[in-house]
Structure 1
Amino acid sequence: MNFINKHKTADNITAMVRRAIIDAAALPEDAMRLELLAKRLGALDADGTARFFDELFNDTGNAHGAMKLKSAIINSEGLKRALGEEKYNGVFTASIRLRLRKVSCLFSELPPLKKGLAGYDKEEEIKMEHMPLGIRRALSKKSVKDTIDRLLSDPDPIVITNILNNPRTTEREVLKIASKRPNSPAILNALANHKKWSKRYGVIKAIAMNPYSLPRVSITLLEFLLSQDLMEVLDDNSLHPQVRINAKEILEQKK
């Protein structure tokens, strides 16, 4: 590709990103934003798609709209369905070759820095773990506050999802789930993609700073953090090195 064509392609991708940001901001749900991405990126090859996401991460023109689009791509399974598995894998390979590190983190399956068994750790709650799973799932849908409190440490993602959907659940309980260590990456991922709670700043920060979160989730959530919280991420040795590197880059962009 010659010099002129390279710049023309880059300009086209920049225009695509800015148009997608504007259109995505007008949509009410992340699922609809992923459908929009699927249509817009259909004509791009893996290299072009990798450059699209790199441009999205670096675009500072429409911060509010960009954040809405970024919130949609936290859902790796949704993103994989939108692009198709073959293209999804191709974008990861392209991002490595093109040295688009932030994009490669988004499309990678890096494990959390820390691993541990999620579950009950308080003596008064341990008896809940011995209940049959079906009963715990049923209880998590009830409106009994004391029962919800006792189930906050449950290791089953469906129990936790039921709690997140329970109208009696408050942000205080959700923050307990998001901050719990050790924790399950599946539970933290479900919380990061929850329609209601994933939009609360305190919850976003807690997931991003939990060393049991998948790095791709934490790295995407960093885009939503204030500078003082990014500094906290940068100084936290318990977090994955890639998470801390991205926090540093975002801080430098904010200067």
Structure 2
Amino acid sequence: MPGPTAPDDPSAALAARLCKVVPALADLAMRTALVLRTLEDAGPPTAARALDEIASRAEQTEAPAREVLAALLPLLGDPLHAGFVGALRVVAKDASLLALGRLLRRKARHAESQAPSPIEHRGIALEPGGRPLSLGERRALARKPSRGILDKLLADPHPRVIENLLANPRLTEDDVVRIAAKRPQKPEIASEVARSARWMARARVRMALVLNPGTPPELSVPVLSQLLRHELADVAASTQVPAVLRSAALDLLARRPPLPPDPNGGASMQ
């Protein structure tokens, strides 16, 4: 963990404030909005140092810090905030903020130079022989409460359709696990799942996303901060996920504090 910081250190004060205020909010979307507003107001240098402190505490399984990082996850998956996240990554590298660097770890640049997956814009029929539906029609249907229609849209290739599906109150956890686990996975679809505060709070959704080899490491690595020991071990043992993700899982396992003895003789899940 980082060494003691001065009481008037703005980054330390920011970290302490987030760890106090975020867990007190019940609404997940409000947590994410608060974290975004607070970090942007602070600016990348202060925000990065505060997040480094929080990430270090989260590695030691401190509950408030892990809740702050959970609220941060949807921001890391949102292309609208890619510039700010990139600025945090630069500060982490230049200032040797190791915990934040581990949180924002991604593939080496030469391994990321692949072209983005094409987004399907043509009309798609929901049934064999049916009329192809435009993107606008499918987006509108994704808002409907019809269970039958939702089932047919779960495999839609367009991220805007998936975005609407994820906001549909009739969608279930099983549905989202299917979306997150689909292979081959498009990074744009994985991003939609990752930036859903509602669904990233579900352990099964997180694991489906992390264990999908099509999920970009810049999305999956931060999710590791929310996993339990046995889940991290599953990721570290997987031969299908990127090597950078396996390495990050092993790092987190090594940094977790020793488990306290269980008076009942059971295994701890921390």
TM range, normalised to the smaller chain?
A: 0.7 to 0.9
Q: How many aligned positions are there?
A: 240
Letter in 2 for 1:53: L
**C-alpha RMSD over aligned residues:** 3.6
2:197 partner SS: coil
Q: Indicate yes or no: 2:70 matched with 1:71.
A: yes
User: Structure 1 residues 50 and 134 mapped into 2: Cα distance closer, same or farther (>3 Å)?
Assistant: closer
**Counterpart contact for 1:31–1:78, Cα < 8 Å:** no
Letter in 2 for 1:59: R
**2:19 corresponds to which of 15, 18, 21:** 21
1:97: which partner in 2?
A: 94
* Match runs of 1:174-185 below 5 Å: 174-185=176-187
Moved more, 72-81 or 223-232: 72-81
User: Structure 1 residues 151 and 79 mapped into 2: Cα distance closer, same or farther (>3 Å)?
Assistant: closer
User: Structure 1 residues 246 and 208 mapped into 2: Cα distance closer, same or farther (>3 Å)?
Assistant: same
Which consecutive unaligned segments of at least 5 residues does structure 2 have? 259-270
Could you state the TM-score of these two structures normalised by the residue count of structure 2?
Answer: 0.73
Moved more, 215-224 or 101-110: 101-110
Deviations 1:92-135 (A, max 9, x none): 2232234445534655775499986788xxx9867679432222
2:56: which partner in 1?
A: 58
Which consecutive unaligned segments of at least 5 residues does structure 1 have? 1-5
User: Structure 1 residues 10 and 208 mapped into 2: Cα distance closer, same or farther (>3 Å)?
Assistant: farther
Deviations 1:21-80 (A, max 9, x none): 1122223311122223334x34xx62x543322221110578332222112322137697
**1:213 corresponds to which of 212, 215, 219:** 215
**Counterpart contact for 2:56–2:99, Cα < 8 Å:** no
Letter in 2 for 1:228: H
Percent identity between the aligned chains? 27
**Counterpart contact for 1:210–1:239, Cα < 8 Å:** yes
Deviations 1:166-215 (A, max 9, x none): 22221111110011011122221211221322211111111122122221
User: Structure 1 residues 76 and 128 mapped into 2: Cα distance closer, same or farther (>3 Å)?
Assistant: farther
1:3: which partner in 2?
A: none
**Counterpart contact for 1:140–1:148, Cα < 8 Å:** yes
**Counterpart contact for 2:77–2:195, Cα < 8 Å:** no
Letter in 1 for 2:57: D
Moved more, 168-177 or 188-197: 188-197
User: Structure 1 residues 152 and 90 mapped into 2: Cα distance closer, same or farther (>3 Å)?
Assistant: closer
Letter in 2 for 1:202: R
**Counterpart contact for 1:117–1:182, Cα < 8 Å:** no
Could you state the TM-score of these two structures normalised by the residue count of structure 1?
Answer: 0.77
User: Structure 1 residues 142 and 19 mapped into 2: Cα distance closer, same or farther (>3 Å)?
Assistant: closer
